[in-house]
Amino acid sequence: MSSKQTIVILGAGFAGLSISKSLDAKLFDIVLIDRLNHHQFQPLFYQVAAAQLEPSSISFPIRNILRNKKHIAVKMCEVLNIDPAAKLVQTETENIPYDKLVIATGCKTNFFNNISIEKNAFTLKSTTEAIQVRNHLLEVFEALSSSSQENSDPRNNIVIVGGGPTGVELAGAFSEIIKRVLPEEYPLIDSKKMKVILVEGSAHTLNNMSDLAKVSSEKYLKQMGVEIITETFVKDYDGKVAVLSSGQTLETSTLIWAAGVKGNILPGLASEAYLPNSRYKVNRHNEVFNHNDIYAIGDIAYMETPLYPKGHPQVANVAINQANNLAKNFKRALKSEAPKPYEYLDLGAMATIGKNKAVVDLPFMRFKGFIAWLVWMFLHLMLILSVRNKLIILIHWSWAYFSSDSSLRLIFKAKPKLAIKD
């Protein structure tokens, strides 16, 4: 029997994969559980949705990533419950014991209890959802190309809710499609009748970034023809009409919800262990409140520190660094050494609005435009897990840049099976 500790990790996002790879194979046996068999590179979901990248370019098989890590057992299954008393993770197929449990389940879309919006809006929290948006948008173009296009046609309007990085990047990408792709590939569509509308509840797009980023992002989007509605919320959406808090209505068959997230919490832990936004409360060592040997890292974790009294930003660097720090703390514990508290070194924020247009906030400087766009491209390439995928994405970006062409506008949908009659 192995004398090594068994660490069970839930989730194969940035946090889960990072700690899996950081833990010492000589000291720990690891079980990595995820509902999917692949890691998803969330920052580029919008490019799949806008048919700018192939889904395979941002999706990485977990077993392939960890192929040389023989001490890691990968299990693709659904976690049903955590039993802290028995130190078991209960899944749909088996009960898995642990010495230490690491929850890295990330976040999902927050609809703020609005059932109609949840039912009818598109979201962008997985590769599958990005493909659904892409398919829908291409089907809209095909339908408009084969029918009369009235000014009031709800298919003319693409509404994006949420003016954070995801919303801004989507708005820019869809605007470029309307201006560059439709006239060439869909000549029967009057692209002047089509609009991209971005709805944001705060006073500015990229409201959590610098004033330069706020002003520049709005300027870029308006130059690209995007209509921006700020200090307004979407109250209802039935699949055809969006109702705004101002009383205004927007006819649209395409509403993409990027207005908030909440944690993917799991049954079994005490209710005082998490906040109303479904993030686990953790101490400076990422241990979940009132639970021994259970830890949370990444987007699912809420940690208050002197520099971040309201919690850390939900970004990849936080997830990766928390994972690495926790892996070192597990090793320190075996040596009876004190754990090292985590603190985030702010590396800045960035967003791209379109070709040659981006904004970058670094701790020591802020800039925009073409150089910011190059920095955005470089840093996102560095975060990509696979060397092969870095090269593929760089080649595709380069080709799209110089040719303004993409061969990815393909509709792939499963055909429903016919009912079999007796």
Q: For the whole model, what pTM was predicted?
A: 0.92
Domain borders along the chain are 5-109+261-334, 115-259
pLDDT digits (tens, 9 = 90+) for 206-231: 999 999 999 999 999 999 999 999 99
pLDDT tens for each residue of 250-268: 999 999 999 989 999 999 9
Q: Which two tokens stand for residue 5?
A: 């500790």
Between CA 278 and CA 299 the distance in angstroms is 10
231 within 8 A of 202, measured Cβ to Cβ? yes
Q: Do the domains 5-109+261-334 and 115-259 sit in the same CATH topology, yes or no?
A: yes
Identify the CATH number of the domain defined by range 5-109+261-334.
3.50.50.60
112-121, 202-211, 311-320, 411-420: range with lowest mean pLDDT = 411-420
Give the tens place of pLDDT for each residue, 177-198.
999 888 888 899 999 999 999 9
- pLDDT at position 405, please? 61
Residue 389 has pLDDT above 60, yes or no: yes
Give the distance from CA 186 to its chain's centroid. Answer: 30
Helix (H) or strand (E) holding 115: helix 115-120
Tell me the C-alpha distance between 58 and 14, whole Å: 13
pLDDT at residue 91 is higher than 70: yes
CATH number of 115-259: 3.50.50.100
